Structure 1
Amino acid sequence: MAGVALIAYGIISGQATPEVFLNWQGVAIVFGGTIAATFISHPSREVFRGFMSYFIIFRSGRVNYIDVIDKMVTAIRIGQRDGVQAMQAQFKNVRGLWIFKDGLQMLVNGYTREEVKTTLEDQVKWQVSRELKQRDLFMSMSQTAPAFGMIGTLIGLINMLLTLQTNPSDVGSGLAIALITTFYGLILANMIFAPIGGKIAEQAETNLLCETLQIEAILLIYDKKNYIFARDKLAAYLNAGSRKKLMKVAGKGALQKKQGLFKKAA
């Protein structure tokens, strides 16, 4: 937002009026041409999915890895005490963590450890592949937009040269209008399409880590590891600051449980 505000300030504070930077023919050439080229080079289904991912990504918040690990460790603890069915029931109404839920269902259905590992890793692999396709879509648009900006500039220059003999005084304004499309192409590429592509790639990495944690948690259940070991193993995927926060959360949970036991004893 700060970058947009600075560009707007640069336009408004200049000698020319802001209306000079508005040219609907240029917008139609650059934006329309970019969209048309995208539909030609990509399946329409992928294009619509990419546009939908734009709204999903900017609407979704950051993944709280500490909360994810804490929920799974709690489920592992319940499973060790009450069995897999109780663990599955605990996670029935929890939003997200679909990989962990699928793994629990496979565990209930009697899949082997290797079968579960292979199946879940394939799910994650293709999910990442779809997300990277959406990234590539917007990166492709970021490369196409400046090209159509140049096409718009050439069209404007041709029209300007055609009127050069009849209205030579309009050369300056005609050249300015011709260059507007180059401006549009660069703005679309570097302030919209490329940042969206980068945001999708960042979200894909975030999702990959979250899903990797879920697969690791399922495998720890198969290996019948203690919930404390499971927590420490999953914490190894986090940075030092997040690990400290996770240990604080785990410490508070243990303290609350201990206080609850004392109340029951009283």
Structure 2
Amino acid sequence: MFSFSTLIGFCAGIGLFAFAIVSSTDHHQIFMSLSSLALVLGSTLAASLISYSTGDVLIAVRSMMATFFHTPTSQKHLRNLVSRFVDWTNLYRQGGISALEQSLSKEEAKDEFLGHAMELIGSGYKSHEIRIMLSDAMDATWQRHTLESKVLNTMATYAPGFGMVGTIIGLIIMLDNLNGDMAGLGQGLALALITTLYGVVLANLFFKPAANQVTEKQEALYYRHQLITEGFVLLAEKRDALFIQDRLNAFLKPSVRLQFADETL
């Protein structure tokens, strides 16, 4: 599902940046320099590759692009998930694991954590064993994905620094030409400062917000995995639908909690 809040924030940031330029000067072209952008981006990626493996950097960049999409962790999705566990109670009692697997939708069948939980309950593990193994898988997933936000935060740290490097390079070139055309001194100084501008903008409008959103998404996903873990533990204990509903309702806001599951029994 597309994240309109991310799109609105991104467009607002770029729009305000462009408005500040347009409203302040008629020489808009001085803010456009492919060489400066290439220096900042290229150096930031190079330093990130030195700090982390190539795979980790590529995954972090892909995660940054994925910030425009929601993960299924809203209260509506969690409520639907609780409702599914209530439905699965009778299915599991009557048809076992095969009935559960046949009831999965296409999206549920593609869910790796849900599929892993299905495998564990289908293997006949006891409830406390399922809790331990799903908790381990949940923590391991969290650790793997935490690295993505670390890479993005590192890139946010490097970008302004390499922007300053570009500025220093520009100043050195400008000072070397002091004996030449003095009229171009101001323009040369402006061009030298563009790399710092690019570094600050990339860090604060792209890398840092992306790192924060990746962290927020993983926290929400971890919360969803906790709900799934508890749900399958209750299924393994063969609790009734009303008990599962009331237990899993603790993961939901009071305004969206399920009610009266006993009426459907």
Q: Does TM, normalized by the shorter one, top 0.5?
A: yes
Distance in 2 separating the partners of 1:66 and 1:19: 52
Conserved? CA contact 2:131–2:229, under 8 Å = yes
Q: Which residue is 1:148 aligned to?
A: 162
**TM-score, with length taken from structure 1:** 0.87
1:94 CA displacement: 4.8
Partner residue, 2:12: 2
Query: Could you tell me which residue of structure 1 aligns to residue 102 of structure 2?
Result: 89
CA distance in 1, matches of 2:194, 2:13: 19
Which position in structure 2 is the counterpart of 1:110? 124
Question: Which entry has the higher C-alpha Rg, 1 or 2?
Answer: 1
* Runs of 5+ consecutive residues of structure 1 not aligned to the other structure: 259-266
- Letter aligned with residue 14 of structure 2: V
**Mean CA deviation greater in 189-198 or 163-172:** 163-172
2:183 maps to: 169
CA contact (8 A) 2:64 2:207 kept: no
Q: Report if aligned partners of 2:43, 2:162 keep a CA contact under 8 Å in 1.
A: yes
Residues 1:76 and 2:109 aligned together: no
Partner in structure 2 of residue 100 of structure 1 = 114
Tell me by how many angstroms 1:151 deviates: 0.4
Q: CA deviation at 1:199?
A: 1.1
Q: Give the secondary-structure state (helix, strand or coil) at the position aligned to 1:78.
A: helix
Letter in 2 for 1:152: G
Q: Could you tell me which residue of structure 1 aligns to residue 192 of structure 2? A: 178
Task: Give 1:262's aligned residue.
Answer: none
Q: Structure 1 CA distance, aligned partners of 2:144 and 2:219?
A: 13
Partner of 2:255: 241
| Aligned amino acid, residue 65 of structure 2 | F
Aligned-partner residue type, residue 46 of structure 1: D
**From 53, 65, 72, the counterpart of 1:55:** 65
Indicate the larger mover: 154-163 or 89-98. 89-98
Task: Report the CA distance shift for 1:94/1:181 in structure 2 as closer, same or farther (over 3 A).
Answer: closer
Q: Is the 8 A contact 1:138 1:193 kept in 2?
A: yes
In the TM superposition, residue 72 of structure 1 has moved relative to its aligned partner by: 1.9
Q: Secondary structure at the match of 1:225?
A: coil
Q: CA contact under 8 A between 1:100 and 1:218: conserved in structure 2?
A: no
The code of the aligned residue for 2:136 comes to D
Using the alignment, how far apart are the partners of 1:73 and 1:209 within structure 2? 19
Distance, in Å, in 1 between the alignment partners of 2:231 and 2:159 is: 44
Percent identity over the alignment?
A: 28
CA distance in 1, matches of 2:80, 2:111: 11
The answer to whether residue 239 in structure 2 is matched with residue 225 in structure 1 is: yes
Query: Following the alignment from structure 1 to structure 2, what is the Cα–Cα distance between the partners of residues 11 and 206?
Result: 38
How far off its partner does 1:93 sit?
4.2
Check whether the contact 1:97–1:211 (CA below 8 A) recurs between aligned residues.
no
Checking the alignment, whether the CA contact within 8 Å between 1:142 and 1:194 is kept in structure 2 is yes
Once the two structures are superposed, what CA deviation does each residue of 1:131-180 show, in whole Å capped at 9, x if it has no partner? Answer: 11001110100000000000011011111111112222211111111111
State which drifts further: 95-104 or 191-200. 95-104
Q: 1:34/1:54 Cα in 2 relative to 1: closer, same or farther (>3 Å)?
A: same
Shift of 1:42: 0.5
- For each residue in 1:192-222, what CA deviation from the matched residue of structure 2 results, as whole angstroms up to 9, or x when unmatched? 0111111111110111011110000011112
CA contact (8 A) 2:82 2:245 kept: yes
2:211 aligned residue: 197
Gaps of 5+ in 2: 1-10
Q: Give secondary structure in 2 for the equivalent of 1:126.
A: helix
TM-score (norm 2): 0.87
SS in 2 for 1:236: helix
- The residue type equivalent to 1:85 in the other structure is S
3-state secondary structure, aligned to 1:111: coil
Aligned residues: 251
1:34 lines up with 2:47 in the alignment: no
Structure 1 match to 2:6: none
Q: Which residue in the other structure is 1:120 paired with?
A: 134
CA distance in 2, matches of 1:55, 1:182: 24
